[in-house]
Structure 1
Amino acid sequence: MIDRRRLLLGAAGAGLLAGTAGLSPAVAQSSGALPPRLSVGEPPLPLALVYRGPASVPGCPESVATLLQTSPRPFRTAFVGPKEPLKITRAVLDTATVYAQPGGGSLSSAWSVMQPHANVIRNWVSGGGNYLGFCLGGYLAGATPGFNLLPGDTWQYITASNATVKTTAATRITVKWRGVERTLFFQDGPAFALNRNHTAQVLATYAGGQPAAVVADYAAGRVGVVGPHPEAHAGWFRADGVSPTNAIHPELGHDLIETTVYG
């Protein structure tokens, strides 16, 4: 469903370093270990855990981490995954405010990796956690297959009869974000099919009106998902031969984060 993006790891790393420049060491932390406190006697910034592993591709987790670090109310970040010091367990999730599932890879292969963790993630969100899903992470928030965190499901936007993008290749897409047209990096991202009586907030829509970014309650927790990639930096565009002009909008990703976590 989603082609693997050949992302230049060097470009992604450069973008990560650029995104953390000027931040305190605690904010810039993106290793697998839990970040340190800001200073003696000062409480730490809230922790966001970002998945990194075979259900993502290099560059995507790092870009999501940068987005969280540079949000108006920033997070310290740590990676979780099978080859990271931190694993996806309830005890680890309970140390965090946010769990973020980045993009990259195919839904079927990603689900085979993530299915063993589905109940842990679902129960944590239900108890008050915040889930953020970007592209593939948005698909995984759905039900067929996925964590079943949404008031509805997901589907492949490019299959819509009125889709403005019909290719699985990396490209640009224009959506309406809070009613204003914005262009973003896109690669076979989901649309969100919401139940008729849903109470979710639709932050963005595709040209045909299909939800492209959604924030919804899940029991005591919250879920924020997006089909395009507001976390994409210029390196993503260069790696895929796509123009970044007027298409880099981290502020939209920050809007998704802020709306999900703080309402």
Structure 2
Amino acid sequence: MWAGLRRGAAALAVAAVVVASACGAPPSGGGGGDDGDSYSALKGTPAPAAPDGRPLALVYRGPAACDGCPEAAHDMLEHDGFTVRYIGPDEETGFGPDALAGVALYVQPGGTSGQEVSTAWGLLKRDPSFSPELVRAYVRGGGRYLGLCMGGYLAGEEPGYGLLPGDSGQYIGSRDATVTDDRDHLVEVAWRGHPQRMYFQDGPYFDVDGPDVDVVARYTNDRAAAVVASYGAGRVAVSGPHPEAPADWYRDYGLPDESHTGLGLGEDLLHTLMGAPARPTS
């Protein structure tokens, strides 16, 4: 099982062209996160491990990510027992043919507020060492991809990696959305059928279908908010809301602090991504 929450017990248990996405950074740009219990075991196929024996995750940090978003993802993953390194044009680890060798998980975090998906994709591709096929081949060969907000948009088609059995779309523009602007909000979702509130800033929904798709959470208009699906021999998890959001993101925008709940949901999403095969929903 995955380690427990930072504070308290764990919570419970588009076929459209995307023109804009926010997934913005908090004013403080903070990551948050404190030490938690260690990752104990993965079910299913053993994941590659870092030299310290823990599974190794690479988190993108570069111009296509917002200030504080890679750090928040880093802290969530480290809390749950990963060894975490950053990958990007100015990081010690850069993209290249062998960059993802021995990596258990690749994470594409949130992007800058108001940034169009096409802009983020263009900034990724501006790195001469980056190639979308590097990530596709990694996942297709058995790797894991976690996309948070902008990373969820980019898991879709044109522009994007094309890792989903379907596409991503802009939730605030969808019919009967409860959030209809790109400011920072709490959004209501049903996570495995149970009501939850999560930090949200212009994140996507997912229009997906297939025999190996687990819709983990839905918005109140029934659009998929968090999904785990197969891609080749690998797996993909995406979330429109931010389970990794630390307490200061809530505080900076005057929102009730749901960071402990978010981390519990993030733990569930990670366990589903890294563990047993996805459970299709009816």
What is the TM-score with the length of structure 2 in the denominator? Answer: 0.80
Displacement of 1:57 after TM fit?
1.0
Letter aligned with residue 104 of structure 2: T
Identical pairs, percent = 41
How do 1:184-203 and structure 2 match up within 5 A?
184-195=198-209, 197-203=210-216
1:75-154 matches, within 5 Å, as 75-105=82-112, 106=115, 107-115=117-125, 116-154=130-168
Judged with a 3 Å threshold, the aligned counterparts in structure 2 of structure 1 residues 261 and 52 are, in CA distance, closer, same or farther, namely: same
1:48 matched to 2:48: no
- Specify the alignment match of 2:226 in structure 1: 213
Determine the structure 1 residue equivalent to 2:8.
none
Conserved in 1, the CA contact under 8 Å of 2:245 and 2:259?
A: no
- Counterpart residue type for residue 20 of structure 1: D
Change (3 A) 1:160 1:22: closer
Which whole-Å CA distance do the structure 2 matches of 1:122 and 1:160 have between them? 28
Mind listing any 5+ residue stretches in structure 1 that lack a counterpart?
A: 25-34, 39-43
Q: Is the 8 Å Cα contact of residues 133 and 225 (structure 1) preserved in structure 2? A: yes
CA distance in 2, matches of 1:158, 1:198: 28
Please, which of 18, 21, 36 is the counterpart of residue 2 of structure 1?
A: 21
The Cα of 1:6 is off from its aligned counterpart by 4.5
Q: Deviations over 1:171-197 (max 9, x none)?
A: 1101000010010000010000113x4
**2:99 partner SS:** helix
Match of 2:75 among 50, 59, 66: 66
**Aligned-residue offset at 1:36:** 7.3
Q: Which residue of 2 aligns with 1:183?
A: 197
CA distance in 2, matches of 1:235, 1:246: 9
**Which AA in structure 2 matches 1:261?**
M
Q: 1:245 to 1:146 in 2, by over 3 A?
A: closer
* In 2, Cα distance between equivalents of 1:82 and 1:201: 33
> SS at the partner of 2:227?
strand
Tell me which residue corresponds to 2:242. 229
Structure 1 residue identity aligned to 2:35: T
Q: What residue identity is the alignment partner of 1:147?
A: Y
Q: Could you list the runs of 5+ residues in structure 2 that have no partner in the other structure?
A: 1-19, 40-48, 277-282
> Which letter maps to 1:59?
G
Higher relative contact order (CA 8 A, sep 6+): 2
- Cα distance in 1 between the residues matched to 2:270 and 2:206: 18
Note if contact 1:20-1:70 (Cα within 8 Å) is conserved in structure 2.
Answer: yes
Q: How many correspondences in the alignment?
A: 241
Q: Aligned letter for 2:54?
A: L
- Give the TM-score normalised by structure 1: 0.85
Alpha-carbon distance change, 176 to 22 in structure 1, aligned in 2, over 3 angstroms: closer
